[in-house]
Amino acid sequence: MSVFNWKEDYSVSVPSIDAQHKKLIGYINQLYDSMKIGNGNKAIAEVLEGLTLYTVIHFHAEEQLMIQFKYYNYPSHKKQHEDLIKRVDDFKKQFTQENHKIIFELAEFLKKWLINHIAVTDKVLGKYLQAKGVI
Ligand code: FEO
Q: How far is the CA of 22 from the centre of ligand 1 (A)?
A: 12
Whether residue 1 lies inside any domain: the answer is no
φ/ψ of 39, rounded to 5, equals -60, 155
Q: How far is the CA of 55 from the centre of ligand 1 (A)?
A: 9
Residue type, 75: P
Q: How many CA atoms lie within 13 A of 127 on its CB side?
A: 9
Whether residue 47 lies inside any domain: the answer is yes
Per residue in 9-39, pLDDT tens? 999 999 999 999 999 999 999 988 888 887 7
Ligand 1 nearest-atom number relative to CA 62: 2
Total domains in the chain come to: 1
Range of the domain at 18: 13-130
Residues with CB under 6 A from ligand 1: 21, 58-59, 62, 77, 81, 117, 121-122
Q: Does position 98 have pLDDT exceeding 70, yes or no?
A: no
pTM (2 d.p.): 0.92
Ligand 1 nearest-atom number relative to CA 77: 2
Whether residue 38 lies inside any domain: the answer is yes
Whether residue 43 lies inside any domain: the answer is yes
CATH number for 89? 1.20.120.50
Confidence bin at 99 (pLDDT 50/70/90): low
